[in-house]
Amino acid sequence: MARWRSGSEARLAEAALDLFIDQGYEQTTVSEIAGRAGLTERTFYRYFADKREVLFGGRDGLERELVHVIAGLPASIAPLDAIAVALDHVATHYFADRGPVALKRQAVIEANPDLQERELLKMASLAAAIGRTLHDRGVSEPAASLAAEAGVAVFRIAFSQWVALGNERTLSDLIRSTLADLRTVTGGT
């Protein structure tokens, strides 16, 4: 088996998702993932600390992207509007070609309570990072945290609709729709 073949990380992630879907997350071993990808276990551990990180490692990139967009917006933009701009950005850029992978990933997470808990922790971390970024832009507490939590809720709900079987709407459209629903239920405009 080759040690440093191009695309190793992507092949490992694809192999892991396929195995998680085929035989279940708990039943899948790192050895099986590496074998399916045509790589060694050692190569797997170069890219991932454990098999959970195949599912959650990319969330750090999502957080960086959201924080970067929000931080770069003028301070005059209302907190929830800044989050809306950032969510639309990640929907059209970060997730542009990740629909099939996101669908598989979500199916694996929904089938495993421990992974659901990890997903909630990642979402809490995302909300905290957005809240800090809003605070750095001059938004006081608790408004920064409240806007961040609301933004993550919008993302989570829109994302779950996007990866639902049979959905034909874009993530961007679902985010806008969910944000409009939030504004309706809170009496906002």
- The tokens for 30 are 């790192």
Report the alpha-carbon distance of residue 51 to residue 45 in Å, rounded. 9
Q: Specify whether 122 is located in the same domain as 32.
A: no
- This prediction has a pTM of 0.83
Q: Specify whether 98 is located in the same domain as 168.
A: yes
Contact 40, 34 (CB under 8 A): yes
Query: Which residues constitute the domain of residue 137?
Result: 58-185
Q: Which residues of the chain have pLDDT under 50?
A: 1-4
pLDDT at 142: 96
pLDDT at 61: 82
Q: Specify whether 69 is located in the same domain as 45.
A: no
Contact 66, 86 (CB under 8 A): yes
Q: Specify whether 31 is located in the same domain as 64.
A: no
Q: Specify whether 62 is located in the same domain as 21.
A: no
Backbone angles phi, psi at 146, to 5 degrees: -65, -45
Helix axes 8-23, 30-37, angle to 10 degrees: 120
Give how many domains the chain has, as a whole number: 2
